[in-house]
């Protein structure tokens, strides 16, 4: 369900149902590469972004090597991190989650929180210094969004853009989508539509208009067979199931 400026035109040109969910990620990568230089070719830097994707697959091994270095930490014991298996994977997942939340090490440091989080920030910052221009896809989203927020004219594509968002959207991805000039977002409504873990979260990521659209949509109804009826109402809330006039199973009779 597209929403925002240009939504009607976006529906006519390319319905949201036809948008490949993987297109958004490919477009982010494509933009990120083309943002390096003017017009996507050789020349002066356009946004000052020099990097290569693929750090996601290298992060665990990089952390394992980092723990064997002379790292200064407050809370975590280096001996524990070195001798106990699994810490590299745990930190890799935690830092990736923080990146997906559109955070950076300086955000943790500015919060002035616990010693544990200050250590996470220190490890994260050292990890980025070790990776240099090798970035995870979530960092690509954050950096590309920041570049577009500073200079919308750096977007390398012309005309309106229809982007696709599903329920697993991260804050980094949402920030990138909302930074696209002339962008309209097509949202795939998910079920069950839990208020706290889905509706409120999507509204916080994409805005009040997206939240209202998701709250108003209903799953397509079909009652040609018991299976179709079950599929139509399987994850609907009790208020919808108990609504007067809701279809019954074929051949069902009311008792009393």
Which residue shows structure tokens 């968002």? 165
**What mean pLDDT comes out for the span 226-251?**
70
Give the pLDDT score at 12: 34
Give the mean pLDDT of the chain.
Answer: 79
Whether residue 181 has pLDDT greater than 50 = yes
Confidence of residue 33 (pLDDT cuts 50, 70, 90): very low
Strand ranges across the sheet with 2-3: 2-3, 183-187, 161-165
C-alpha to C-alpha distance for 157 and 223, rounded to whole angstroms? 44
Residue boundaries of the structural domains of the chain: 2-51+138-216, 55-135
Would you state the structure tokens that stand for residue 168, as one six-digit string? 């697993």
| C-alpha neighbours within 13 Å on the C-beta side of residue 225 | 3
C-alpha to C-alpha distance for 212 and 203, rounded to whole angstroms? 8
Strands 2-3 and 134-135, by their bridges, are unpaired
Give the pLDDT score at 217: 78
**What mean pLDDT comes out for the span 133-155?**
94
Reference 22, options 183, 144, 155, 173; nearest CA is 173
Give the pLDDT score at 21: 43
Give the bridge partners for 161, in sequence order. Answer: 183
**What mean pLDDT comes out for the span 108-113?**
81
DSSP letters spanning 214-253: HHH--PPP--SSHHHHHHHHTT--HHHHT-TTPPPPTT--
- Count helices and strands (H / E) in the chain: 13, 5
- Among the residue ranges 77-81, 167-171, 200-204, 228-232, the one predicted with the least confidence is 228-232
Confidence of residue 149 (pLDDT cuts 50, 70, 90): very high
Quick one: how far is CA 155 from the chain centroid? 19
> What tens digit of pLDDT does each residue of 190-231 get?
777 778 778 899 999 999 888 888 888 777 777 677 787 777
Between 223 and 142, name the one with better pLDDT.
142
Asked if residues 51 and 134 have their Cβ atoms less than 8 Å apart, the reply is: yes
Q: Is 244 exposed, middle or buried (0-12, 13-18, 19+ CB in 10 A)?
A: exposed
Number of Cβ within a 10 Å radius of residue 234: 10
Number of Cβ within a 10 Å radius of residue 154: 18
Q: What is the largest CA-CA distance in the chain?
A: 80
C-alpha to C-alpha distance for 188 and 206, rounded to whole angstroms? 13
């Amino acid at each position: 369900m597209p929403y925002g400026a240009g939504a009607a035109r976006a529906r006519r040109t390319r319905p949201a149902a036809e948008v490949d969910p993987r297109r958004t990620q490919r477009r982010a990568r494509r933009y990120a590469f083309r943002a390096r230089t003017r017009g996507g070719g050789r020349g002066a830097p356009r946004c000052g972004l020099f990097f290569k994707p693929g750090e996601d697959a290298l992060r665990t091994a990089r952390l394992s090597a980092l723990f064997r270095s002379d790292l200064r930490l407050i809370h975590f014991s280096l001996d524990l991190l070195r001798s106990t298996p699994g810490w590299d994977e745990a930190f890799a997942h935690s830092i990736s989650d923080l990146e997906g939340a559109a955070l950076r090490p300086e955000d943790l440091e500015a919060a002035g929180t616990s010693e544990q989080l200050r250590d996470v920030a220190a490890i994260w910052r050292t990890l980025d210094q070790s990776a240099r221009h090798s970035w995870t896809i979530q960092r690509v989203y954050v950096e590309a969004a920041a570049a577009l927020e500073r200079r919308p004219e750096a977007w390398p594509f012309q005309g309106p853009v229809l982007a696709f968002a599903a329920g697993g959207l991260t804050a980094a991805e949402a920030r990138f989508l909302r930074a696209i000039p002339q962008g309209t977002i097509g949202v795939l409504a998910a079920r069950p539509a839990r208020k706290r873990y889905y509706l409120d979260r999507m509204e916080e990521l994409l805005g009040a208009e997206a939240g209202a659209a998701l709250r108003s949509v209903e799953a397509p109804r079909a009652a040609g067979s018991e299976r179709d009826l079950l599929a139509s109402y399987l994850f609907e809330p009790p208020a919808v199931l108990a609504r007067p006039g809701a279809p019954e199973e074929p051949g069902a009779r009311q008792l009393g």
